[in-house]
Structure 1
Amino acid sequence: MITIDSHVREIERVTAGADSGRDPAVVQSWLRCVNDYKLDPADAQDAYIVPEAKLREHQAQAEDIIRISRSGVASLFEQVSEQNYVVMLADARGVTVDYLGHPRLDSQLRQAGLYLGAEWSENRAGTSAMGACLVSGEPVTIHQDDHFDPTHIGLTCTAAPIFDTLGELVAVLDISQLRSPESKTSQQLALHLTRNTARRIELANLVARARREWVLRLSQSPDFIDIDPDAAVSLDARGRISGVTHGGLGALARATGLRFDTADTLIGQPISRFFDIGIDDLPQYMRGQSAGERVLNAGGEPALFASAISPAAPRRRGVRTPPPAEPSPALAALSHGDEAMASLQRRAARLAVRDIPILIQGETGTGKEWLARAIHDTGRAEGRFVAVNCAALPEQLIESELFGYVPNAFTGADRRGKTGLIAAADGGTLFLDEIGDMPLALQTRLLRVLSEGEVTPVGGLEPKPVRLRLISATHRALADHVAAGRFREDLYYRLNAATLRLPALRDRRDFDALVDRMLEGLAERYDARYRLAPSARRALPRHHWPGNLRELQNSLDVAAALADEGLIGPDELPETVRDSADRDTALARRLADHGGNVSALARSMGVDRSTIHRRLKRGAG
């Protein structure tokens, strides 16, 4: 018989390194609970149900996957309800956002956390099927005393991950019981059903998101290829992979003998790299052809059976095609050899072809608008790039500027009305710079635009449909603004579906190349030749550059204007830059006075050793 004491002692033995007969997934989760989250197995915790308002926020953020999953969730519940299972769909943070259970067990299920709004993240609830699945990305059964918290040792829970078409884990599907047979093998059917339902949800999600692209469904058998395939990929008009189900990774790996760890390694690759077909060959794999004859060959050998779905309609304006293997010229121009920027460029190139909201974060002057324009150009949208500085517009004007207004909407309004910037970006990209400075009231209206895909002008009654790519940017810590109530949490999670963080200029490794490129730009603009004296080039990286690229550009503009015959020396540099160089030279002298002992110098200055090292490194540059 399982007791709390025996359960706690077993966890203590396992975390101390003793062998265990538990599944590896259970042992690894126990270790995370103790070592990473500092949870105590003897400290039993009641199930946590998030407040109603918080639940609504989670549901709003997960509304697409909830809608697409609903049929699968209902079908799964129909299959298992007689055994008193409940079916739960959790978002990527472990909060149950959809749920089907038994009303007669409502009180017991809520108390156990098998309920709408329950949070099962591992760091809060300990080892559970949802929590372990969120961490590992693998289907798992956590049966009875596999659970970490003794409150849950009567439950049996089975979960499977749901990935989006770019390979990100977006939800977890779970079926659970309050009580079950002692044997964990009794849950094998539960694991099979949950895994298959998650696979079907991923397929439905890909088909829904690729309505105007080719979808190629894959299976090892022809029998159910048209109605229940194993996996699928979506293809753009050039035959390049634009999306993939999680099962597609394994299917392509098995068929081609190649290895794919993540979906983003496939996005943008031509389908001809994996199979002996091109985009023009896809119609022969559509329904109407014999399923047994729809065979994909790889290297001349049969690999998989396939079923193709043609695009539902001609591609609409503004739909983007995947980038080439390397970043586009627009993105490539943003960096000159910095590794962090190169990684950001590759990520931006992948995101540019999808209508995914992007939040760009970085200090003032790091080039957030340049990056946003490069993403727009890479996506090749037909519409405009419309930039709005939310911090520069007066609060009383920002609403009419963003949403426009109908004729005579207010005193002083143009009698002809005005098209707002959101509507002007239809078919293109809306860039909201300094989004953290947007007033709360307008945040609510913007959220409605993003949710409903339509905008209503000030004073108007009829909404107008808009379709645009949204990129926002801020130098502020938006998460802190959310915590302080200055920024809507639901809008925050809509804006940062993907986040790109621009490095500060002082952290970049291509500083000299950036300087040279800016000097070349000045030379082209003024039809002159500019060059840096060695002493000036040494002085530049010693400055902290709080204004980043913008400050550097302005400094070089001023220096070029003051330079005699195009030669920029220290005297032509702004005073702040010269002062930084002088301070670092003085610092080197003070270090020499301390016999080269960084610790002694740091103590004398009342700063950390890391501060001294950073300034010395900058000075040496």
Structure 2
Amino acid sequence: MGLVDHIEEIERVGLGSNTGRDTIVVESWRRCLETYQLDPAQAREAVIVSETRLREHRQQAEDLVHIARSGLEKLYRQVAEQNYVLLLSDRQGVTVEFLGDPSFNNNLRKAGLYLGSEWSEPRAGTCAVGACIATGEALTIHQTDHFDITHTPLSCTAAPIYDTQGALTAVLDVSLLSSPILKASQNMARHLVSATVRRIELANLMASSRHDLVLRFASAPEFLDVDPEAAISVDGSGHITGMTHGGARLLAASRGLDWRRPELLIGKPVTAFFDAGLTELASLTRASLPQDRQISVRDGSILFAHAIEPQQKRVGVRQPRTASPLPALGTLGGDVPVIDNLKRRVAKLAPSRLPILLQGETGTGKEYLARIIHSLSGVSGQFVAVNCAAIPEQLIESELFGYAPGAFTGALAKGRKGLVEEAQGGTLFLDEIGDMPFAAQSRLLRVLAEGEVQPVGGIVPRKVDFRIVSASHRSLADMVAAGMFRADLYYRLNTAVLTLPSLAERNDLSWLIDRLLAKHEIAGHALRLSEAARARLLASSWPGNIRELDNAIAFAAALCENGLIDVADLPDHLTQTPMALSGDRRENGITDMLAACKGNVSEAARRLGIDRTTMHRRMKRLGIDRSH
């Protein structure tokens, strides 16, 4: 199909004609014409975002990428020989992970099949990632299905990844630079992508539900233990705490509900969807054969279920996030200048009730610091934490400000109090506030300015009084300058600004390591580090900050024998990758490793992942001799 023919077909669709295209393509073309005002005659080159913006998107997606990595690599091995490339995009359509043949990098980058490419519909027109974000469905956009003539050589198949609370959080896409003419040639690709997404969602649910019972479901017993179709998590009081997308569809279908309304599912008693209570569900373990683990669904269907007991049992009913013990100022860090200065400021600012903005990279402990501020503030109310990046845009206003009875279809008959009111007399912590939509920013500004909140659909405002602490890993000042954040709200939030240093900028790493060893002790037995393992931890630059260090020690604790962590117990990236060291951390790491190796330079270099010549050069530059 030529350029003129393609443009004319799009224009006919815009006028209401049926050209034989799939409905999902037709609807996307109409969005491009009517909603985004795109011109099919104007070619758009693929957009690759800046390194700074890509880094921001990747930081926000790091937890998902970590969980998804093995599934992504397995899928790529399955499709690489057919010249597919794999893209993992976030909910804004920016590619945060990419797997492809490096020999085709130039062609792939030019086509937009590359790390940092942006595939949202408003930016790229009809495309698999953008249409997947818009519809929430797995789909293929094949060749001339694309709105923009620039992309018509491509064939792209994508499936959405949902988080445990039912929000679309990412899209997995496999694409070809050139492909067979028939769209049906991509049916297998769609099957593989959807299967990988199902496994990623299940892994994510398992990782986030360590304290809850997890139930996996399949329509046939043969697949129950190997490839379940759906899964949910249930707390000790029998209420649903999380779900895969398949789980959301299953729950919604059992009651004739809309799976796109996760608030109708999360938090509800499991007995509302199944003819079984918590005790009966918990008994559906591998102690019995798969064919004997049947469960009746409220819509009359029968499924097979597999129950996985909590990996870390709680005592009693699952407690809300706001009820966790509050940390003390001394737990913020060791006695080093950068932390001492931060402690001094926190001690002065916490009782003042001033709005505080916390800035710092992902994983530096912003929520932990917010809890310390709350504990020192003297307020009587509770600490309410809200992750603005985790709440779907269409729900954030009702979540924050609540809603009046009958405010929208599916609303509770008595309405619901919002999180702002839950923080009455206490602290409202707004994490990743830079991701708050403009409409919600305006409402929040009004709440802060007037001291009252008006629920969605409500008429009478309600008085509120709370301390606000906000946080962002991005510079809000830069976002204001770029028109991405309201300046008036920014100046309401930044009366006091506290910046958390990255782990690479702190000199209390040994202190943190010892605290985390105590945190992850097994069955009351203390964890210990071998000298070589401690040296290895001290040698890392920890780009993932405290969260990465915490995960590394938790991983090692699970592998070690008799409570002693050695180098072999540490994650592979700490034992196989040369470390980028700096300052005191580098000297400590090299000195400790030499001590662990009894002065054997060759062995110390091997354990640090560098060659012997480099080791000698670093020792000389740092003034370290073998005896030292």
TM range (shorter): 0.5 to 0.7
SS in 2 for 1:233: strand
Partner of 1:444: 360
CA 1:447–1:212: 2 relative to 1, 3 Å: closer
Taking only aligned residues, the RMSD between alpha carbons, in angstroms, comes to 4.1
Partner of 2:355: 434
For the Cα contact (< 8 Å) 2:127–2:141, is it kept in 1? yes
Partner of 2:291: 292
For the Cα contact (< 8 Å) 1:434–1:472, is it kept in 2? no
How far 1:199 moved relative to its partner? 1.5
For the Cα contact (< 8 Å) 1:44–1:150, is it kept in 2? yes
Counterparts of residues 226-375 of structure 1 (less than 5 Å): 226-255=225-254, 260-298=259-297, 303-315=302-314, 321=319, 353=320
How far 1:225 moved relative to its partner? 0.7
For the Cα contact (< 8 Å) 1:175–1:190, is it kept in 2? yes
In structure 2, distance between residues paired with 1:212 and 1:187: 40
Post-superposition CA distance 1:44-71 (Å, at most 9, x none): 1111111112111100011111111111
CA 1:494–1:300: 2 relative to 1, 3 Å: closer
SS in 2 for 1:28: helix
How far 1:491 moved relative to its partner? 5.1
Matched, 1:114 2:80: no
For the Cα contact (< 8 Å) 1:404–1:421, is it kept in 2? no
Partner of 2:42: 43
Amino acid at match of 2:180: P
How far 1:212 moved relative to its partner? 1.2
How far 1:271 moved relative to its partner? 1.1
SS in 2 for 1:123: helix
How far 1:250 moved relative to its partner? 2.3
CA 1:178–1:301: 2 relative to 1, 3 Å: closer
In structure 2, distance between residues paired with 1:78 and 1:307: 30
In structure 2, distance between residues paired with 1:412 and 1:313: 35
SS in 2 for 1:448: coil
Give the length in aligned residue pairs.
406
CA 1:13–1:211: 2 relative to 1, 3 Å: same
For the Cα contact (< 8 Å) 1:14–1:20, is it kept in 2? yes
How far 1:30 moved relative to its partner? 0.8
Partner of 1:580: none
Post-superposition CA distance 1:185-230 (Å, at most 9, x none): 1111111111121111111111111011100001111112112100
Post-superposition CA distance 1:352-398 (Å, at most 9, x none): x4x5xxxxxxxxxxxxxxxxxxxx4xxxx142499xxxxxxxxxxxx
In structure 1, distance between residues paired with 2:180 and 2:83: 13
CA 1:431–1:93: 2 relative to 1, 3 Å: farther
Partner of 2:64: 65
In structure 1, distance between residues paired with 2:340 and 2:9: 75
Partner of 1:570: none
Post-superposition CA distance 1:391-442 (Å, at most 9, x none): xxxxxxxxxx89867669599999xx979679x9xxxxx999634xx4xxx6
Amino acid at match of 1:383: P
Partner of 2:528: none
SS in 1 for 2:359: helix
Post-superposition CA distance 1:17-40 (Å, at most 9, x none): 222200111111111111111111
How far 1:512 moved relative to its partner? 7.2
Counterparts of residues 124-523 of structure 1 (less than 5 Å): 124-255=123-254, 260-298=259-297, 303-315=302-314, 321=319, 353=320, 376=322, 381-384=323-326, 434-435=355-356, 438=357, 443-444=359-360, 448-450=364-366, 470-471=385-386, 492-493=433-434, 501=443, 505=452
SS in 2 for 1:289: coil
Post-superposition CA distance 1:315-371 (Å, at most 9, x none): 289x954xxxxxxxxxxxxxxxxxxxxxxxxxxxxxxx4x5xxxxxxxxxxxxxxxx
For the Cα contact (< 8 Å) 1:249–1:262, is it kept in 2? no
SS in 2 for 1:217: strand
Greater Rg, structure 1 or structure 2?
Answer: 1
Query: Unpaired segments of 5 or more residues in structure 1?
Result: 322-352, 356-375, 387-400, 425-429, 458-467, 474-489, 519-621
In structure 1, distance between residues paired with 2:76 and 2:278: 39
For the Cα contact (< 8 Å) 2:453–2:461, is it kept in 1? no
CA 1:274–1:70: 2 relative to 1, 3 Å: same
For the Cα contact (< 8 Å) 2:248–2:262, is it kept in 1? yes
Amino acid at match of 1:226: D
How far 1:290 moved relative to its partner? 0.4
For the Cα contact (< 8 Å) 1:431–1:472, is it kept in 2? no
In structure 2, distance between residues paired with 1:39 and 1:115: 23
Post-superposition CA distance 1:520-566 (Å, at most 9, x none): xxxxxxxxxxxxxxxxxxxxxxxxxxxxxxxxxxxxxxxxxxxxxxx
In structure 1, distance between residues paired with 2:260 and 2:231: 17
Partner of 2:572: none
CA 1:421–1:275: 2 relative to 1, 3 Å: farther
Post-superposition CA distance 1:502-527 (Å, at most 9, x none): 56559679787969x99xxxxxxxxx
SS in 1 for 2:157: strand
Post-superposition CA distance 1:226-248 (Å, at most 9, x none): 12100001000111101111111
| TM-score, length of structure 2 as denominator length | 0.57
CA 1:446–1:184: 2 relative to 1, 3 Å: closer
Percent identity of the aligned residues?
43
In structure 2, distance between residues paired with 1:251 and 1:156: 31
In structure 2, distance between residues paired with 1:186 and 1:411: 59
Matched, 1:32 2:31: yes
For the Cα contact (< 8 Å) 1:61–1:494, is it kept in 2? no
For the Cα contact (< 8 Å) 1:255–1:304, is it kept in 2? no
CA 1:469–1:506: 2 relative to 1, 3 Å: closer
Partner of 2:578: none
Amino acid at match of 1:143: H
SS in 1 for 2:232: strand
How far 1:256 moved relative to its partner? 5.5
In structure 2, distance between residues paired with 1:288 and 1:211: 20
SS in 1 for 2:65: helix
Amino acid at match of 1:449: G
CA 1:166–1:284: 2 relative to 1, 3 Å: same
How far 1:104 moved relative to its partner? 1.5
CA 1:499–1:236: 2 relative to 1, 3 Å: farther
Amino acid at match of 1:125: A
CA 1:306–1:403: 2 relative to 1, 3 Å: closer
CA 1:300–1:231: 2 relative to 1, 3 Å: closer
How far 1:274 moved relative to its partner? 1.7
In structure 2, distance between residues paired with 1:291 and 1:28: 43
Counterparts of residues 527-566 of structure 1 (less than 5 Å): none
CA 1:402–1:141: 2 relative to 1, 3 Å: farther
Post-superposition CA distance 1:67-116 (Å, at most 9, x none): 11111111111111111001110000000001110112111111100111
In structure 1, distance between residues paired with 2:164 and 2:117: 26
How far 1:281 moved relative to its partner? 2.0
Query: Unpaired segments of 5 or more residues in structure 2?
Result: 373-382, 389-430, 466-628
